[in-house]
Structure 1
Amino acid sequence: MEDVPDIYDPAFVKAVFDRCSRRYIAFSFVCSLGFTERWRRQCVAALALPRGAATGYDFMSGTGEVWPHLLGANPEIEQIVAVDISSGMHTLAMERLHAMRSDRIAFIEDDVLASDLPDASADFVASTFGLKTFSPAQHRRLAALTARVLKPGGRFAFIEASDPRGWLLRPLYLFHLKTVLPAIERIFLRGAQDFAMIGTYSTQFGNCRQFTGMLEGAGLIASYRRAFFGCATMAFGHKPL
């Protein structure tokens, strides 16, 4: 009997995103009809960064596409520490977005849950489209990590592509994830089947509501919000003073 891989195992996740990193930006933008960029902006808006010197983390940073939005929201950010497990994603982020901001962006290439990040070291934590690669048990650990690394009053915002349960067009959305995306990959990307995992991760993730509760359980003030009929959802808030 063939072994079924654990799709949340860090080694499995790293391998998937290393293989698809070179085409990830174009594929995600086109196949989300441009919504991923809009949702990044909404995530940063929910983060509600105050002006002034600040240091923070970009968890599961991927290709670093949220950095321009963060620096635009607060030009006085001193440093963004990007944490991601994928070597391929880090390499691409450095090539595309890091060069002009090398004095303000640092990298940690590691599983964020295994990284030894200092307590109370961040004014903010942001994360865009990385939650789906974690299991519920890993989400609980991530919530505790977020609470630990934030300074009192520090802010956080997570956004993730989600399953829009209750939406009239949900069957069409799921057809897009489960049928259209794998077909595009087979035809144009030589059948690597890595991008199809994005649909698998998204539908198994559900939405950010449960994670919002975990953040509250970790002692944070957290809110939940839907975007575009629930095709993306957010968990955002702050650490009490």
Structure 2
Amino acid sequence: MSDNIYDPEFVAGVFDRCSGAYRNWSAAASFGLIRSWRRACVNGLNLPRKSTASGVDLMAGTGEAWPHLFARFPNIAEVTAIDISPGMHRQAIDRLHKDREDRITHHCANMLTTDLPSDSAEFAISTFGLKTFDAQQHLAFAHQLNRILKPGAPFSLIEATDPVGWSLRPLYRFYLDGVLPQIERLFLNGAQDFTMIGAYTRNFGTGSTVMEALKAVGLTVEVQYFVGGSAVRFSGFKPG
């Protein structure tokens, strides 16, 4: 397997190994904040409450955003879940969403090369997958997002960041880079997969390469930061 942490095979391997514990570990490691951030992602989606739209969840993981999505927009017709990790898809079905299977289609694929039809999605969301791409891949992602969305369709993307300038950043970095790896070694049989978040968030920075990429392909986008800049939401739409 490649040592490049942005290589699709490497990323798929990390999340396959994480998939069984992902839901509980991510909630505990973020002190529950990740749930509110997923809700904030859905809240950034500019759709009517009674919308019957069909859309995509990009880098969908175990589908943690779907309860928030269906609570806010109960008449959503269909969500196509795209994720590169087969393990994450299995967990999404087995643990969380059996009662929604008729409205969720699973597509195990690399988002950067997926062949989903152009101008087909009436909305798009993504929660905590952008950090697994480098700057060049962010541009490829933006091109794909722009291609998949219908004209006028909204999107909302959220990601954990490296909050440069935040007074609590040293403590935040110590937690991600020092505390989490020790916890994972002790309680997850020496694994070092979840603690990749330290490297990914440090390299992701404030998310400026995502903003630049979205604008470069012509998408309209607004940015909002949360909790001292430790998470960022990009929301907007594809011009009609």
Shorter-chain TM-score range:
over 0.9
Letter in structure 1 aligned against 2:184? E
Distance 2:164 2:93 in 1: 37
Measure how far apart 1:225 and its partner are: 1.1
Summarize deviations over 1:127-177 as a string: whole Å, max 9, x none.
000001111111101101111111111000110010111010100000000
Measure how far apart 1:24 and its partner are: 1.1
Summarize deviations over 1:180-223 as a string: whole Å, max 9, x none.
10000111111111111121111111122321221111111011
Distance 1:48 1:69 in 2: 14
What does residue 24 of structure 1 align with?
Answer: 22
Measure how far apart 1:4 and its partner are: 7.5
Instruction: Name the one with the larger strand percent.
Output: 1
Distance 2:222 2:12 in 1: 30
Distance 1:152 1:61 in 2: 22
What does residue 183 of structure 1 align with?
Answer: 182
| Contact 2:2-2:10 at 8 Å conserved across structures | no
- Aligned-residue sequence identity (percent) comes to 49
Aligned residue for 1:56, secondary structure, equals strand
Letter in structure 2 aligned against 1:239? K
What does residue 152 of structure 2 align with?
Answer: 153
What does residue 203 of structure 1 align with?
Answer: 202
What does residue 40 of structure 2 align with?
Answer: 42
Runs of 4+ more than 6 Å apart: none
Letter in structure 1 aligned against 2:9? A
What does residue 12 of structure 2 align with?
Answer: 14
Distance 2:67 2:188 in 1: 29
What does residue 122 of structure 2 align with?
Answer: 123
What does residue 102 of structure 1 align with?
Answer: 101
| Contact 1:117-1:149 at 8 Å conserved across structures | yes
Letter in structure 2 aligned against 1:237? G
Distance 1:172 1:52 in 2: 42
Summarize deviations over 1:75-113 as a string: whole Å, max 9, x none.
111000000011111110001223101110000011111
Letter in structure 2 aligned against 1:35? L
Distance 2:184 2:231 in 1: 22
Aligned length: 239
Distance 1:199 1:80 in 2: 30
| Contact 1:208-1:235 at 8 Å conserved across structures | no
| Contact 1:209-1:224 at 8 Å conserved across structures | no
Measure how far apart 1:19 and its partner are: 0.8
- Superposition RMSD on alpha carbons, in Å? 1.2
Distance 1:79 1:232 in 2: 27
Distance 2:43 2:227 in 1: 15
What does residue 53 of structure 1 align with?
Answer: 52
Measure how far apart 1:69 and its partner are: 0.9
What does residue 112 of structure 1 align with?
Answer: 111
Distance 2:2 2:125 in 1: 32
**Which consecutive residues of structure 2, in runs of 5 or more, have no partner in the other structure?**
none
Letter in structure 1 aligned against 2:179? V
1:61-140 correspondence to structure 2 within 5 Å: 61-140=60-139
Summarize deviations over 1:11-56 as a string: whole Å, max 9, x none.
0000111111111111111010001000001111111222321010
CA 1:155 to 1:171, structure 2 compared with 1: closer, same or farther past 3 Å? same
Distance 2:175 2:63 in 1: 25
